[in-house]
Amino acid sequence: MNIKNKLNSLSITPNKALGQNFLTDEQAIKKIVSVSDVRDFGVLEIGPGLGALTSELMKVSKKVVAVEIDVKMIDALNDLKNESEFGEKLILVHDDILKTDFAFITKELSFDFSQQYKVVGNLPYYITTPICVRLMKQHEHICQLTLMMQREAATRITAKPKSEQYGPLSIVSQYIYDTQSALELSPQAYYPQPDVFSTVITMKKRDYDIKKANMLIKITNICFAMRRKTIQNNLSNGCGKEKSQKLLSVANIPPSARAEALELEDFIRLVDAIADID
């Protein structure tokens, strides 16, 4: 059954405010599931909608926890769960992904001591950045992400210094994950059609230091608090003038620099300086 007919039969009108653009391109669905590489892994799916990706993910993964805010979608997904031979693998969570309890998700998707799972989602575009920021904080448990987003949003993740998109999300994600573009999609791949082009990115975990990543999350937020101010100014607000001067000197960063001009390596030296001084 195609999506339009399914929506009609359930008397559901897509909710624009919730970013409901359903994927209809079968080839794209197959490709996304393939690059997600979820065999033998637990999967968190964000915004399952009517289950275009969910039904495929259920077949190949160990378990799927699907977090969806719209109760109408949850009702439809419950039917999918009851009708599918893989239904037992699906846990439906009716919740806002920006508020949901990640401890529960990690517990459900942990199959060994390393507690690693993968994330897949055709994201609701209106909250792409806050979702990514929240996911980065779960880096200890998320070994791969496959995310569909508006093309422009992906540039926040891959941005380099001195560009408008460059910020804490770029720095943190580039330290923890290797990001590749897997697929580009035009509005015709969805119903209803969005106004924008989309991209699917895969983010695979690099060899990185967990403690440094946690400090990098904190320090980049402090350094970018006021974008137009110098790093010395922002850091002073976070940890006092004297300490910030010392940190910048140990890290060999000019106090007059702006955070947006600094490379990932500069921030790593700052993180190392914090560890040395504390």
Q: Which residues contact 82 (CB under 8 A, 6 or more apart)?
A: none
70 touches ligand SAM (CB under 6 A): yes
Site for ligand SAM in 91-110 (CB under 6 A): 96-98
Contact 209, 271 (CB under 8 A): no
CA 260 to chain centre: 22
Q: How far is the CB of 27 from ligand SAM (least distance, A)?
A: 14
Q: Residue 205: in which H helix or E strand, if any?
A: strand 198-205
Dist CA 148 CA 154 (whole Å): 9
Q: How far is the CB of 39 from ligand SAM (least distance, A)?
A: 20
Stretch that binds ligand SAM, among 78-86, 119-127, 133-141, 244-252 (CB under 6 A): 119-127
Dist CA 14 CA 124 (whole Å): 12
253 touches ligand SAM (CB under 6 A): no
Q: Which of 7, 64, 67, 132 binds ligand SAM (CB under 6 A)?
A: 67
65 touches ligand SAM (CB under 6 A): no
Stretch that binds ligand SAM, among 121-129, 227-235, 243-251, 256-264 (CB under 6 A): 121-129
Output Rg (C-alpha) for the chain, integer angstroms. Answer: 21
Using CB under 6 A as the binding criterion, the count of chain residues that bind ligand SAM stands at 22
Q: Which residues contact 165 (CB under 8 A, 6 or more apart)?
A: 155, 156, 159
Interface contacts to ligand SAM, rule CB under 6 A? 18-23, 47-49, 52-53, 67-70, 73, 96-98, 122, 124, 127
